[in-house]
Amino acid sequence: MRIAVIADTHMPRRATVLAPACAALLARADLVVHAGDLSTRSVLTMLEDLCPRVAAVRGNVDEPAVTTSLPATLELDLPGLRLGVIHDAGSEQGRAARMARRFPEADAVVFGHSHIPLLEGGAGRWILNPGSPTDPRRQPRPSMAEILLEQDVLVRHWAVDGSEPVPLPATLVRGGGGPPSGDL
């Protein structure tokens, strides 16, 4: 199973369309997980046009039509992975422990809000922030992530500012831990 993970699209304020590299990764996914700050309901429709299976949570700047239709948190039971999803995981200090308390049954937690690509933790429990495909803020490249569930769990961050996705260099992903990264 291939899961495309995005957050903080802030559309249409930060972009009116997704870069072709981002759209390509979303279209090849079996599931898209959006960790909040879609901004408008039309973003959810756009994602569903690319991948019919979308799981999303609301963020802190979403319009009322989004906040009333999406939950604040999700827990997904996937083949070989229980995934928690939340928009704002709070400050960096104590984040992993806080997410373990918030999602005690989860193997991993996806979050957004900071726009900073992150993969942290170890076997059995890790946290993931995909960054933002449209609003990298102080990051050098727009990004998203992919989780591949096969015999093992593989995670890869992608730079998505061009026509093709490019692996995001490990030096641009904070945390330095989590499940193995590999060729997806």
Query: What single string gives the DSSP state of each residue in 14-54?
Result: S-SS--HHHHHHHHT-SEEEE-S--BSHHHHHHHHHH-S-E
* Residue ranges of domains in the chain: 2-172
Give the domain 2-172 fold. Answer: Purple Acid Phosphatase; chain A, domain 2 (3.60.21)
pLDDT tens column, 61-111: 999 999 999 999 999 999 999 999 999 999 999 999 999 999 999 999 999
pLDDT at 6 over 90: yes
What's the angle, vertex CA 16, arms to CA 59 and CA 86, rounded to 5? 15
pLDDT tens column, 104-129: 999 999 999 999 999 998 767 899 99
pLDDT tens column, 38-63: 999 999 999 999 999 999 999 999 99
Which residue is listed with tokens 């569930």?
149
In the predicted model, what is the mean pLDDT of residues 8-25? Answer: 93
What is the pTM for the complete model shown? 0.95
